[in-house]
Amino acid sequence: MIEVRDLHMHFGGFRAVDGASLTLEQGSITGLIGPNGAGKTSLFNCIAGVLTPTSGQVFFDGEDITGLKPHELFHKGILRTFQIAHEFGSMTCRENLMMVPAGQSGETLWNTWFGRKRIAEEERALRAKADEVLEFLTISHIADLKAGEISGGQKKLLELGRTMMVDAKMVFLDEVGAGVNRTLLYTIGDAIKRLNVERGYTFCMIEHDMEFIKQLCDPVIVMAQGKVMATGSASEIMQNEAVIEAYLGTGVKNKKTEEAQ
């Protein structure tokens, strides 16, 4: 579905992404892991249009989408969330969700004055959809709170909710679980799984929590020093010596040795 070919992203002399190639299969939930500074977020930013890669190409269903702007990708159904949750702080959570769909008739000045009925109908439908999304994410009770005032974990859920307001095809989640308590993490995990199964979203997620990865992701891609180091199922990855060395650390290795003994 998404194919990245030999992508380079250099900041001056620093090679954040140094020739990464990977494929994200339709309908999969791909985990992207790796130590800090491995180039995961830079890779995300290149695919999501925030950065223009130094070289290399990104394809979406065979179409070259390298260097397209975020809002152009949005119209193709490629969405992302941020490592630090973004929100429209002065609006309510419901309004935040209602902002997402593009091409609403209320966007032109003409309709603002002369198409009020159509706008009202659209808004009703949107409102119902937003409420449904909030329900799905089990955060109906915060619908009328200002998005700037809700907790960090709830903001993460709201970010996920944004992707549900349109028919997304491909969603990039940047550390959706970071700084979120266990219970909420399960809610998020459930939501991701349901979106994947029920609505056919394809996910690619950066994550550090190996338990969370193990539950959700297949395959898992490991990045280190700007390159793809290994690809495989979560359990394969956790057995991989090189990955343990580079990322998972000797803690896992020792545990394994202990278990073996």
Partner 1 sequence: MDILNALVAFTNFVVVPATAYGSQLALGALGVTLIYGVLRFSNFAHGETMSFGAMVVVLVTGLFQSWGLSLGALPTALLALPFGILATALLLLLTDRVVYKFYRKVKAVPVMFVIVSTGVMFVMNGLVRMVVGTDDRRFSDGARFVINAREFKAWSGLNEGLALKTTQVITVVVAMITVAALFWFLNKTRTGKSMRAFSDNEDLALLSGINPERVVMITWLLVAALATIAGTLYGLDKSYKPFIFQQLLLPVFAAAIVGGIGNPLGAVAGGFVIAFSEVTLTYAFKKVVTYLGPDSWAPDGLVQLLSTDYKFAVSFAILIIVLLFKPTGLFKGQSI
Q: Which CB atom, from 30 or from 163, has the smaller least distance to partner 1?
A: 163
Site string for partner 1, 9-48 (x = CB under 8 A): ----------------------------------------
Pair of tokens at residue 243:
């990955």
Interface region with partner 1, contact rule CB under 8 A, candidates 4-12, 76-84, 184-192, 212-220: 76-84
Work out whether 52 is an interface residue with partner 1 (CB under 8 A): no
Residue pair 143/151 in contact by the 8 Å Cβ criterion: no
Site string for partner 1, 53-72 (x = CB under 8 A): ----------------xxx-
Q: Which residue from 104, 105, 87, 95 is spatially nearest to 130, judged by alpha carbons?
A: 95
Pair of tokens at residue 31:
């985990």
Q: Residue 202 CB, nearest distance to partner 1 (Å)?
A: 17
Q: Which CB atom, from 66 or from 240, has the smaller least distance to partner 1?
A: 66
Give the Cα separation of 186 and 181 in Å (integer).
9
* Near partner 1 in 101-160, by CB under 8 A: 101-104, 106-109, 112, 119, 123
- Identify the H or E element spanning 93: helix 93-98
Site string for partner 1, 85-104 (x = CB under 8 A): -xxxxxx---x---xxxxxx
Q: Which CB atom, from 165 or from 237, has the smaller least distance to partner 1?
A: 165
Interface region with partner 1, contact rule CB under 8 A, candidates 82-90, 203-211, 233-241, 250-258: 82-90
Q: Residue 257 CB, nearest distance to partner 1 (Å)?
A: 45
Give the Cα separation of 85 and 236 in Å (integer).
31
Pair of tokens at residue 95:
């309004």
Q: Exposed, middle or buried, 117 (CB in 10 Å: 0-12/13-18/19+)?
A: exposed
Q: Residue 210 CB, nearest distance to partner 1 (Å)?
A: 29
- Within 99-181, residue ranges assigned H as helices are 109-114, 116-136, 152-164
From edge to edge, which strands make up the β-sheet containing 2-11?
14-24, 2-11, 55-60, 63-64
Work out whether 79 is an interface residue with partner 1 (CB under 8 A): yes
- How many residues bind partner 1 (CB under 8 A)? The answer is 31
Residue pair 5/59 in contact by the 8 Å Cβ criterion: yes
Residues that bind partner 1 (CB under 8 A): 50, 69-71, 74-75, 79-80, 82, 86-91, 95, 99-104, 106-109, 112, 119, 123, 162, 166
